[in-house]
Structure 1
Amino acid sequence: MIEQIKLIAHEAGKAIMDIYAKDFAIYDKSDSSPLTEADLAAHNIIVDGLAAISTLPVLSEESASIDWETRQQWDEYWLVDPLDGTKEFIKKNGEFTVNIALIKHGQPVLGVVYAPALSRTYWGSLEDGAFVEDDSGIKAISAAPHQAGDTWKVVGSRSHQSPEIKAFLDELNGDVELVAMGSSLKLCLVASGEAHLYPRLGPTSEWDTGAAHAVALAAGANVTVLDPDNPFDSDPVPLTYNQKESVLNPFFLVSAK
């Protein structure tokens, strides 16, 4: 099934790139804009593609109005963000993604993250491990634990750091290097061993993280709920999905085990 999901993601990415190639200014998502057009085009391709291979329900950013009474009956479903990284899309820096995840009993068990402008695909499942494919080919990836004396590589914002993030970084022993990246690719940096940590102390929705979360777990990383008042809690709680009415995630930390 993973190959079918990759194909669907690539088809959605192709539709996005057709629109991304246009010359456009900055638009809001509420406008009839290239961003909205790309989002909806990718959504429709993904939903149709999944319907052709599966009878499971789909929760997408573009179908977020599905009520909790319905969603709480789902033990297994597809979680989709057809275009994550709206700022990156508008800025045309390429760091936006197509995201498709399979959720079972609140856990992401399979995920595909495709960055069409970068020609890069991450995928992973708990059974088969995690992989990345780009112009150089396919390779297995795994999270890399921090070693004593090494510089901490922490995924962070391209712009200013919030006071909460600064406080988190101050608690780390040793030098810290910030690694900037957009969209769900942030989680993939930890999954691929290019960073040790990704603390998220800001709002995200479940569709923003599901696919990359699956890749991270398949690569041997942890994704745990982060208490901003006690970020180094010794008893971490895994981040889960579709366990409450709100689709907003709590703060979380992606880390190598």
Structure 2
Amino acid sequence: MKDLQDILKITRQIGWGAAEILRSYYNGTAQYPDLDIQYKQNEPVTVADLAVSQYILTQLETALGNQDFGYISEETYKSQQARNTHDLVWIIDPLDGTRDFINKTGEYAIHIALVQQTRPILAVVVVPETEKLYFATKGNGTFVETANGTSPIKLHPDKKIEDLTLVVSRSHRNEELEYLLEKLPCKNQKAIGSIGCKITAIIEQQADVYISISGKSAPKDWDMCAPELILTEAGGKFTHFDGTPLQYNTDDIHQWGGLLASNSQDHEILCQLAEKTLGSSK
């Protein structure tokens, strides 16, 4: 198997290529720009999702093969078994924030993560409309790559808990989450589309906290995996409300329950408040 840094270099190149494809659809310059929007389980899927999924999978498999790696993509996982039996598994979201892509908010992203057993060891998150690619490997920190070069990112939170800004969804909200947000001491809110863009907003210190509470549905592995590693390697935290780490490539691709991502400031306090508040509301 190739060295992890060599694999990261390949993944970054693939990330930029995927961003170019998405932007061609977003800007209407693709050869066949019609998005042909379909709905599966009330979630939109476009030809852009499918084209980028095929591109990422083909590029990774060509470069790295199938012997050492398994592959799980949002657009292909139903044709696979839920849990891949490889020790190393790629978890891919070719277009995180499809609704925002369709609605032209610019808040969509590409997630590519490599998981060893159940935890991420490599991650790339690309935000095409800001022309930024964030990457991390376990234990080596987080970096942002632009046309001007590459820079390390490290969080240095220094706010009071009541001054923290929550980054929230425009579309995926439920009564339980609304109730919790009312009870937390931090009242500032910033609405952003995709989860990748929410987490990069925390990394860029434009927001501080993101909360997910599953309702009838839940986020999937590919929503959280790459964003988690780029956040935690920058100094942030991303856990369940009870403090346990997220697990990926298990027998269930859903991330059920309450999840909290933060710049690390008051993370445990906010988790405890969330558990106590939701426990008392039932």
**Paired residue for 1:177, among 184, 188, 193?**
188
Identity of aligned residues (%): 29
The corresponding residue for 2:169 is 157
Question: Given the alignment, which residue of 212, 237, 247 partners 2:227?
Answer: 212
Contact (CA 8 Å) 1:113, 1:211: kept in 2 or not?
yes
Match of 1:231 in 2: none
Give the one of 208, 224, 234 matched to 2:239: 224
Pair 1:120–1:26, CA change in 2 (3 A): same
Q: Which amino acid aligns with 2:166?
A: V
Give the alignment's TM-score, normalised by structure 1. Answer: 0.84
Given the alignment of the two structures, is residue 36 of structure 1 paired with residue 46 of structure 2, yes or no? Answer: yes
- After superposition, give the CA deviation of every residue in 1:1-52 in whole Å (9 maximum; x if it has no partner): 222111101111211222222276883346xxx9522111111111111112
Distance in 2 (CA, whole Å) between partners of 1:36 and 1:222 is: 32
Q: Does 1:243 align with 2:250?
A: yes
Following superposition, the deviation at residue 149 of structure 1 comes to: 6.2
Establish whether residue 191 from structure 1 lines up as the match of residue 203 from structure 2. yes
Match 1:46 to one of 31, 50, 56: 56
- Contact kept? 1:101, 1:210, Cα under 8 Å: yes
Aligned residue for 1:41, secondary structure, equals: helix
Tell me the distance in 2 between the aligned counterparts of 1:236 and 1:72: 26
Amino acid at match of 2:46: T
Name 2:74's counterpart in structure 1.
61
Q: 1:253 aligns with which of 257, 260, 266?
A: 260
Distance 1:136 1:84 in 2: 25
Q: Quickly say closer, same or farther: Cα 1:166–1:146, change in 2 above 3 A.
A: farther
Q: Which runs of 5+ in 2 are unaligned?
A: 1-6, 265-282
**What is the match of residue 130 of structure 2?**
118
- Residues of 2 paired with 1:10 and 1:61: CA distance? 19
Structure 2 length-normalised TM: 0.77
**Distance in 2 between the 1:26 and 1:45 partners?**
18
Higher RCO (C-alpha under 8 Å, 6+ residues apart): 1
More deviation, 41-50/145-154 = 145-154
Post-superposition CA distance 1:117-165 (Å, at most 9, x none) = 2212111122321122346653322334353366111111236964323
Give the Cα–Cα distance (whole angstroms) in 1 for the partners of residues 254 and 147 of structure 2. Answer: 35
Distance (whole Å) between structure 2 residues aligned to residue 171 and residue 134 of structure 1: 39
CA RMSD of aligned residues (A): 2.5
2:8 alignment partner AA: I
Farther off after superposition, 126-135 or 44-53: 126-135
> Does 1:88 find its partner at 2:88?
no
* Mapping of residues 133-144 of structure 1, within 5 Å: 133-134=145-146, 137-144=149-156
The count of corresponding residues between Structure 1 and Structure 2 is 242
Query: Could you tell me which residue of structure 2 aligns to residue 15 of structure 1?
Result: 21
